[in-house]
Amino acid sequence: MRRLWPLLTTLAIVAGAFVMLVPFAWMLSTSLKPSTALLVLPPRFVPEEPTVEAYRSVAASFPLLRVFFNSAVVALATTAGQLVVASLSGYAFARFTFRGRDTLFYGYLATLMVPFAVTITPLFIIVRTFGWTNGYLGLIVPAMFTAFGTFLMRQFFLTVPRELEEAATLDGAGTLATFVRVILPISGPAFATLGIFAFMASWNNFLWPLLIVSDRQFMTLPLALATLQGIYPGQTQWNLVMAGTVVSVVPMIVVFLLAQRWVIEGVTTSGLKG
């Protein structure tokens, strides 16, 4: 039985991977089908006459390059902001000692249990008061602050040996110099993990841009994809929707593959100590 266990484990992993990949394969297949082949029964996985007409129609439905640029700017700026804010706050909670530190941290962490629908109205009022609607600031700044990012970075910093910081202090380095020169260079796995999560959340965000953006000039990709769906049942051209979805998914897959090694290491390391 012990000899069969590795084989069974491998088969289970392969089966799980197959189940996860089938929807992506079907999405790509549907995006390459002409409109006349969408309702063919029985459904055909491989299109008989593959075409890229759906991608041309998507590009003609809205300014694809501008929308892609908006999503890229918002996602990259949000990710960079989260990395800066979460690393500083996480380091403070992990290393600084002050009255009420744990209470403040757990209170901040408890905000993860508050649904976004509860905070969306006051957040919208604040953003409108600052005049950030219909602009990049309204899309970027509120998403830079996240309790999850602070928690993730704190958990990672708790695993860093204090001897490294003590050695830097003996060499005359201050707190900021120690953080920048000693802590940050070894924080690649945690930064990669948080960066992937932040990028994916921002890239797929639909509700918040829908509320504060009414100018097509600042429309992001999820908003543009929503325009591909028909208002009434039966009007939706699913090959167009799937083509747009493929365009949306490809950047996330590329980013994840580039940082995959650090993501796995970061998730493992950040959960070692509470």
> Could you tell me if 177 and 137 lie in one domain?
yes
What is the model's pLDDT at position 273? Answer: 43
What is the model's pLDDT at position 256? Answer: 79
Instruction: Identify whether 236 is part of a domain.
Output: yes
What is the model's pLDDT at position 148? Answer: 92
CATH number at residue 154: 1.10.3720.10
CA distance 144 to 125: 18
> Could you tell me if 149 and 29 lie in one domain?
no
> Could you tell me if 84 and 31 lie in one domain?
no
CA distance 180 to 195: 18
> Could you tell me if 37 and 95 lie in one domain?
no
> Could you tell me if 31 and 139 lie in one domain?
no
Q: Which carries the bigger pLDDT value, residue 34 or residue 74?
A: 74
CA distance 76 to 144: 11
> Could you tell me if 137 and 224 lie in one domain?
yes
The beta strand positions in 170-262, using DSSP E, are none
3-state secondary structure labels for all residues of 127-196: HHHHCCCCCHHHHHHHHHCCHHHHHHHHHHHHCCCHHHHHHHHHCCCCHHHHHHHHHHHHCHHHHHHHHH
Band (pLDDT 50/70/90 cuts) for residue 199 is very high
> Could you tell me if 111 and 234 lie in one domain?
yes
Mean pLDDT on 74-91: 94
Instruction: Identify whether 58 is part of a domain.
Output: no
- What's the number of domains the chain is made of? 2
The parent domain of residue 41 ranges over: 1-51
Instruction: Identify whether 133 is part of a domain.
Output: yes
What is the model's pLDDT at position 7? Answer: 81
Contacts 24+ apart (CB under 8 A), 64-68: 64/224, 64/247, 66/217, 66/219, 67/219, 67/220, 67/221, 67/223, 67/224, 68/221, 68/247
Mean pLDDT on 229-242: 72
- Show which of 10, 30, 51 is a domain's final residue: 51
> Could you tell me if 138 and 254 lie in one domain?
yes
> Could you tell me if 15 and 124 lie in one domain?
no
> Could you tell me if 168 and 266 lie in one domain?
yes
Instruction: Identify whether 57 is part of a domain.
Output: no
Report pTM.
0.83
Band (pLDDT 50/70/90 cuts) for residue 49 is confident
Mean pLDDT on 100-104: 90
Instruction: Identify whether 198 is part of a domain.
Output: yes
> Could you tell me if 127 and 166 lie in one domain?
yes
Mean pLDDT, all residues of the chain: 85
Whether the upstream peptide bond of residue 122 has omega within 30° of 0, thus cis, is: no
> Could you tell me if 96 and 6 lie in one domain?
no
DSSP state of 39: T
**Least confident stretch, 39-48, 73-82, 110-119, 143-152:** 39-48
Instruction: Identify whether 56 is part of a domain.
Output: no
